Structure 1
Amino acid sequence: MSGDGTVGKALDVLEQVAAFERPVRFGELQEKSPYPKATLYRFLQTLTNQGMLSYEPERQTYAMGMRLVRLAHAAWTTSSLAPIARPYLDQLSAETGETVHLAQLDASQVLYVDKRNAKNPVEMYSQAGKVGPAYCTGVGKAMLAYVEGEALERAIAQQSFHRFTPTTLADPESLRKELTEIRARGYGFDREEHEPGIVCIAVPILTNGNRMLGALSVTGPTSRTSLDQLENLAPRILETAKRIGEEAEAWRFPETRQQKVETT
């Protein structure tokens, strides 16, 4: 439950509706809501009046509203790496033939912001817009490896360390050790840690000053690829991540670059 007052509680309700990933009835929301019936109803009415939710009277269901869709599109365009990375993902996907993921950190978890399916796709958890764990995914660990100090400790404390498979990292010490290895090597792996039969190689997307912006991965099923085969792609993926990072830095922080010119 949010501690940010009325706005925080309204956002909690909005996320609760979104979590169903389908139109949802009031009774279903009430079963999972920490708020009293009257409070929940009031927030739903406010969110509907503001266009953040839509209400279907005949079915008596709530769903994401068009105003929220507009805001999400604006956020995707201005705040995510997806628009910048799009041509690079296309090229990497065409070259490797495997699934390519683009991700950023969101509250110490992985937010998949874009994805390219393999030539012969296989079913897996990741989809653009979905949130996944950071401690047991390639992109998550690649990003955490470049989070430092108190921010890293907070991020580690927020991991569930639920064991999805026999190879899932199950404690903070194991994760810290692997993050050190990733930072030294420049890339990390998902060794069937989140989903059985799915492996990946992941690299961080960094600015020239090593500020972490996100991560990029190439993922495939163990039935047609291996960690050794994926590791052979490391130079190509690192180069792609470098180019995305450089372009993102020039786009997102142009004033910093201008100031450097003016002071030289």
Structure 2
Amino acid sequence: MNTQAHSPAAGDGTVGKALDVLDLVAAFGRPVRFSAILEASPLPKATLYRMLQTLTNQGMLTQDPDTQAYALGLRLVRLAHEAWRQSSLAPIARPFIDALAAEVQETVHLAQMDAGQVIYVDKRNATDPIEMFSQAGKVGPAYCTGVGKAMLAHLTPDRLQDALSRQSFHDHTPATLDTAIKLMRELDDIRASGVAYDREEHEPGIICIAAPILSSPARVIGALSITTSTARHALDTLDGFKPALLRAAEDIGGAAHDWQFPSDDPSAHSPS
């Protein structure tokens, strides 16, 4: 279970704690009983119980009357749909990723970054799908995914340092870049070449080529990748996808130029 959540800022108080509880319940990926939530939560037992009851009363969580297990509620589903419609790059990018997937016949991912982590906001499966971690709605690490590295490489220095401080640098595979120093060297190469690669860094046998989506030269708003397996392609053959990938990323960035997407820049949330 990945229990990583947003770190609440000082002064977030009860609202911040409640959102952390929602993140925690979501991280289990299944209905979960109070005892398991308590074991994973830093909150005192009484505080956690009150939070869970309030969230259930508000429809953000549901509780099964027979098993007493908690799960995400339908109110969250409605909010998630509106967030996808209003704040996600996916609605604008849809025709471009449809066309790219049809052209390359491989899996295409669309991702954005939040709090230093990758959020997969849309996906098109290959004609012959491959089993892999990434699905629309899932959160993944930035430092060892193609889309994550493509976005990290184009962050401003302050935003990059903030994002790097949020990486776990866990060795998912022998190929994982497991330190910030190794990652920074690769980010230099990504800026020079315009594309990033996942060289089986997150999952064995899964490789990809990725490109940033820029709404202006100084603002990265997402990333696009073409993902396949080592059973179908070698790393050097991924370069054959580069022209189509860059063209699609540029088209999405152009279409999104005037759209105001939420920023993952921490300073953007501070009152002036």
TM-score (norm 2): 0.90
User: Aligned runs of 1:49-64 on 2, under 5 Å?
Assistant: 49-64=57-72
SS of 1:217 mapped into structure 2: strand
Alignment partners' CA distance in 2, 1:167 and 1:141 = 14
User: Aligned runs of 1:170-181 on 2, under 5 Å?
Assistant: 170-181=178-189
Q: 1:154 maps to what in 2?
A: 162
Alignment partners' CA distance in 2, 1:132 and 1:138 = 11
1:62-118: CA deviations, max 9, x gaps?
Answer: 111111111111110111111111111111111111111000111101111111111
Alignment of 1:96 onto 2:104: yes
Relative to structure 2, which stretch is displaced further, 208-217 or 183-192?
208-217
SS of 1:218 mapped into structure 2: strand
Which has the greater radius of gyration? Answer: 1
1:142-194: CA deviations, max 9, x gaps?
Answer: 00000121221121122111111111111111111111111111111001111
Q: 1:234 maps to what in 2?
A: 242
Q: 1:23 maps to what in 2?
A: 31
Alignment of 1:69 onto 2:77: yes
Q: 1:137 maps to what in 2?
A: 145
Alignment partners' CA distance in 1, 2:183 and 2:35 = 40
Q: How many Å apart are 1:213 and its aligned residue? A: 0.4
Relative to structure 2, which stretch is displaced further, 134-143 or 150-159?
150-159
Alignment partners' CA distance in 2, 1:29 and 1:173 = 35
Alignment partners' CA distance in 2, 1:66 and 1:132 = 24
Q: 2:128 maps to what in 1?
A: 120
SS of 1:57 mapped into structure 2: coil
SS of 2:48 mapped into structure 1: helix
Alignment partners' CA distance in 2, 1:91 and 1:51 = 38
User: Aligned runs of 1:199-238 on 2, under 5 Å?
Assistant: 199-238=207-246
Question: For structure 1, which runs of at least 5 residues remain unmatched after alignment?
Answer: 254-264
Q: 1:256 maps to what in 2?
A: none
Alignment partners' CA distance in 2, 1:188 and 1:30 = 40
Aligned AA (1:7): V
SS of 2:167 mapped into structure 1: coil
Q: How many Å apart are 1:217 and its aligned residue? A: 0.1
Moved over 6 A (4+): none
Q: 1:8 maps to what in 2?
A: 16
Identity of aligned residues (%): 63
Greater helix content: 1
Alignment partners' CA distance in 1, 2:32 and 2:216 = 45
Q: How many Å apart are 1:214 and its aligned residue? A: 0.3
SS of 2:120 mapped into structure 1: strand
TM-score (norm 1): 0.92
Aligned AA (1:164): H
SS of 1:252 mapped into structure 2: coil
Q: 1:262 maps to what in 2?
A: none
SS of 2:46 mapped into structure 1: helix
Q: How many Å apart are 1:210 and its aligned residue? A: 3.4
Choose from 240, 251, 256 the match for 1:248.
256
RMSD value over aligned CA atoms?
A: 1.3
